[in-house]
Amino acid sequence: MKKKLLDILVCPECKISLDLNGAEEKNGEIFEGNLVCPKCSTIYPIINYTPRFVDSRNYARNFGFEFYIHPKTQLDSFSGIGVSEYRFKFDTGWDEKDMKNNLVLEVGCGAGRFSEFPLKSSAELVSIDLSSAVDVCLENIGLNEKHHIVQANIYKLPFKEHSFDKVFCLGVLQHTPDPKKSFESILKQVKGNGGKLAANCYQKTGIYMTQPKYILRPITKRLPHKFLMGIIKRVAPGAVKFGKKVRKIRSPVLSKWFKQFIPNFDDYPFTDAQWVDWATLIIFDMLSPWYDQPQTIEDIKGWVSEHKFNKSEVLDGVLIRVTL
């Protein structure tokens, strides 16, 4: 943790600035120590350069597990293919110039697949995650003078409100207990007079909800993660081979059906080994979350309509982009 992060850190309960005690520094950063609330006396430890504002046992444990097993699968710097950068640009609508010298908050960093791009754009980035994936993110990105990693709860963010020029939250809202409440929470972090937020959520439609994962999840989300991952690892190679046969048939209907099992299959120029790795991660990601709550586009528009924005758009998908 960098000391300058103290300028915006607050107790998630009392919303007042924190004191730093017992700091041990390594590589020019705080490696270990404690953040203490002067009002409620709660102690928040700094472990492995990362302030921890949550208990390690929470509803997002599956994400910590999957990124520990697949730490680099979705990283462009590892695959050599700009899959994550393309999605980041498409979902947020931001490019390098938009983020240069901005203070940006990333909500739900996982292994850091989207962290790479803001940092490449010379933004100062604060990445949070509820799960232990923060440690994977740190390992992947490394110590960076413009990167801060914090383990925190989306409902009790440990930052002063309206601190960030931009906030993005991709692939997260539907996996929280209350997606609307999650949206409201991250919105409070955006600066007024031009601050921007970009988020997405799975779109709820009648056809979407018939996907196999919604039939299987009531069972699979309760399975031990190691056991579920073991099954998927055995199934994934065969699934990829079958997908390649589907591609040769060139049937749009059959291809669309198969992508319910492996989303985006064959959309990227991966090798066979990369596809097996990608499929294993994606299938686990679909079957293991405790919460998976898509929202209708009408619901999302309702969230947005409750606020006054300088600019707002809700796009099919569902993508949410607002400017305060």
Average model confidence (pLDDT) across the chain: 95
Banded model confidence at residue 36, pLDDT cuts 50, 70, 90 = very high
State pLDDT tens for residues 290-301: 999 999 999 999
Report the CATH number of the 54-203+297-323 domain.
3.40.50.150
| Residues in contact with 30: Cβ distance below 8 Å, sequence separation at least 6, in sequence order | 1, 2, 3, 20, 23, 24, 46, 49
Residue 277 CA, distance from chain mean position: 19
Banded model confidence at residue 248, pLDDT cuts 50, 70, 90 = confident
Q: At what angle do helices 272-287 and 225-249 cross, to 10 degrees?
A: 130
Q: Which SS3 state, helix, strand or coil, does residue 71 take?
A: coil
Is the dihedral angle over the CA atoms 80, 50, 89, 74 positive or is it negative? Answer: positive
Banded model confidence at residue 13, pLDDT cuts 50, 70, 90 = very high
Residues of the chain with CATH 3.40.50.150: 54-203+297-323
Residue the block writes with tokens 């319910």: 260
Query: Does residue 174 register a pLDDT over 80?
Result: yes
> Where do runs of H (alpha helix) occur along the chain?
61-69, 76-79, 83-92, 96-99, 116-120, 133-141, 179-187, 212-220, 225-249, 252-258, 272-287, 297-305
State pLDDT tens for residues 37-79: 999 999 999 999 999 999 877 899 999 999 999 999 999 999 9
**Mean pLDDT in residue range 27-35:** 97
Query: What pLDDT sits at residue 167?
Result: 98
DSSP calls for 157-224: --B-TT-BSEEEE-S-GGGSS-HHHHHHHHHTTBPTTT-EEEEE-PBP-TTGGGSHHHHHHHHHTTS-
**Mean pLDDT in residue range 224-249:** 94
State pLDDT tens for residues 280-292: 999 999 999 999 9
Residue the block writes with tokens 């709820």: 204
Find out whether 64 and 50 touch, Cβ atoms under 8 Å.
no
Retrieve residue 17's tokens: 């600035």
